[in-house]
Structure 1
């Protein structure tokens, strides 16, 4: 019984840390202007790549 409770507690703690870290990273990347510009550039290239029938970047 004690081992099960310990495992649940450790699992909850690790998952909580992962979620909080992801939330902080998302907030940082959203608020940082350099990251926003880089993200838009990368997403724009991916859209160009996926929308081209030849599978190449538009020039």
Structure 2
């Protein structure tokens, strides 16, 4: 395995840990298909996180957005 491949793998795993921690703080524990967060791909975690952030933003009163 090349050094670049190993670095990329570590970066992906680190980002997954960050997203999983953020999702857990938002009380999100499983995907809609019942998978645990650690079973999901980085892409899946990113999409879930973005969707939750958008949902929270839509619920926020306008005066808090400014």
**TM-score normalized with structure 2 length:** 0.40
Larger Rg: 1
**TM-score normalized with structure 1 length:** 0.45
Which structure carries more helix by proportion?
A: 1
